[in-house]
Amino acid sequence: MPPGATPGGKDETHHIKNSVAGDFSRGRESENQKHQKDDEENDEQEFGDGERCARNAGEAQKARDQSQNQKQNGPTEHGDPQKNASGANNAAGGTIVPRRFSARLLEITKYREAAMTSIKDIYALDTDGSTWSVPQNFDVTFNWDYDDGRAAMMGLYAKGKQMQWDAETRIDWSQELDEDNPEQMPEESLPIHMAGCYLRMSPKEKANVRRHFQAWQISQFMQGEQGALICAAKIVTQVPDADSKFYAATQTIDEARHVEAYKKLLAKFKVAYPMTKPLKELIDQTLRDSRWDMTYLGMQVVIEGLALAAFGQIRDGAQNPLAAQVNAYVMQDESRHVAFGRLALRDYYPQLTQKERNEREEFLLEACYLMRDRFDAVELWQNLGLPIEECATAMYESGFMEKFRNSLFTRIVPIVKDIGLWGDHIRNGYTEMGVMEYAKTDVQALQDNDEDIAKQFDARRRDIQRVIDRAAVAAAE
């Protein structure tokens, strides 16, 4: 026998090769099965009991179908149909979807649909392209000192780091909006609720107007938060102080999270609107100015003040828990952003000449007039085919707009005074606008209240989860 030959010759060698190949193949199959099992476990963790029950229910149905076929066609080569049905059912877990998971499964389905919604596909109006470019002309400033900076600013930076949160997990996105009144806001929150054109509408038509108005608002929040994201990033590159750069970096991620949260909320409306011309004009002015403090002034004081006024109305007025929750958490961050602007500008403006301060006061007044007089939703009413003049008149005469303007200046006027832009020019302007009384507002108290309300939402969610967990344990016993 030749060296290396086997007793079975070629046939034996072929058998050994096939055996090895078979072992390898079985090993691969075993490894694949292990990966498949791991993937299934990961899927169950990701999508919860509702998803698992749906899968098991499908397998159980398949087993029942197989059993029915075997009953009709008689025994098969696999043996007794009754045994096979039982075995298949056991293999599938013998699972019938518990009723308590039906609603959860529907929530998961709706959540997935919202997650797949592309904002560009639900715009009600043309956005004039996918991007908007604003020319820039400023110096990028490095700081070589790396000192600890101002205690108050570093304290704010530490707080900004500690209070980071994930929009995906802190908010329960399985919650749905109301069909007729998505945020479940009071009727008087719709600024045209007393307009003749609205009063003559059917309930279905009124529901459509409410949905579009609320979606228009949320759209402006989302668009404005992208503006804030870009402004915060600009502050990081431009501001000379290292401690301000540090805090602005935390604000940048805050603003990205806010864009994400409002995008998710807006997807549930299934309609979106482009940035309004007044807001676009203000952001354009803020970004084009090469002076670093003007970015603070336009964004941290005016636009953030505007946002806090609008967010607060929904947080405090919405009966829909999802809408209220999103705005409460965003406001918690925004209160820190306003405090950042106050700290940075309060230290800087005493160093300027009166002429330089007058320039900034002029910008502030123009911005306040812009936000007060031109945030009128003309494009919304036009898109809905409503009489613009009638809607505009109703809007400015409504108690909602009066309340909004009051909230706006409650957030802006005391900050302007606090940062030292309180010359004759701006005081005369605010007197003419009838908003000087808001200079007495305690800004710190407002910011503390914003933070407390967000904590209350967290506590409420924990309480609800405890009840759900107890119910699940009781049902399993």
Quick one: pLDDT band at residue 106, thresholds 50, 70, 90?
Answer: low
Cβ-contact 453, 331 below 8 angstroms: yes
User: Residue 52: pLDDT above 70?
Assistant: no
> Distance between CA atoms of 362 and 261, rounded to whole angstroms?
34
pLDDT given at position 325: 97
What is the token pair recorded at 24? 């390898």
User: Residue 385: pLDDT above 50?
Assistant: yes
Quick one: pLDDT band at residue 104, thresholds 50, 70, 90?
Answer: low
In angstroms, the Cα distances linking 302 to 282, 306, 339, 372, 445 are: 9, 6, 13, 11, 19
Q: Can you tell me whether residue 317 is helix, strand or coil?
A: helix
pLDDT given at position 257: 98
**Average pLDDT of the segment spanning 120-129:** 93
> Distance between CA atoms of 415 and 441, rounded to whole angstroms?
9
For 345, counting Cβ atoms within 10 Å of its Cβ (0-12 exposed, 13-18 middle, 19+ buried), the class is buried
Lowest mean pLDDT: which of 44-53, 65-74, 103-112, 269-278?
A: 44-53
Q: What is the pLDDT of residues 250-300, one digit of tens each?
A: 999 999 999 999 999 999 999 999 999 989 999 999 999 999 999 999 998
Q: What is the helix (H) or strand (E) element at residue 408, kind and residue range?
A: helix 399-418
- Which residue has 């898109």 as its token pair? 383
The domains of the chain, with CATH numbers, are: 9-103 (no CATH), 118-468 (1.10.620.20)
Cβ-contact 273, 127 below 8 angstroms: no
Average pLDDT, rounded, for the chain: 82
Quick one: pLDDT band at residue 173, thresholds 50, 70, 90?
Answer: very high
Q: What is the pLDDT of residues 345-361, one digit of tens each?
A: 999 999 999 999 999 99
Q: Which residue has the higher pLDDT, 384 or 409?
A: 384
User: How many CB atoms are located within 10 Å of the residue 125 CB?
Assistant: 14
User: Amino acid letter at 476?
Assistant: A
> Distance between CA atoms of 62 and 84, rounded to whole angstroms?
12
pLDDT given at position 354: 92
Q: What is the DSSP letter of 239?
A: -
Give one word for 99, left, alpha or beta, with left for phi > 0 and alpha for psi -120 to 50: alpha
Q: What is the helix (H) or strand (E) element at residue 307, kind and residue range?
A: helix 304-317
> Distance between CA atoms of 151 and 457, rounded to whole angstroms?
30
In angstroms, the Cα distances linking 40 to 34, 339, 390 are: 10, 47, 58
User: Residue 240: pLDDT above 60?
Assistant: yes
> Distance between CA atoms of 347 and 326, rounded to whole angstroms?
33
User: Residue 135: pLDDT above 60?
Assistant: yes
> Distance between CA atoms of 387 and 389, rounded to whole angstroms?
6
Cβ-proximal residues to 343 (8 Å cutoff; 6+ apart), any chain = 150, 152, 153, 156
C-alpha angle 65-66-68 in degrees, rounded to nearest 5: 65
Q: What is the pLDDT of residues 18-40, one digit of tens each?
A: 443 444 444 444 444 544 555 44
> Distance between CA atoms of 459 and 199, rounded to whole angstroms?
40
> Distance between CA atoms of 182 and 179, rounded to whole angstroms?
6
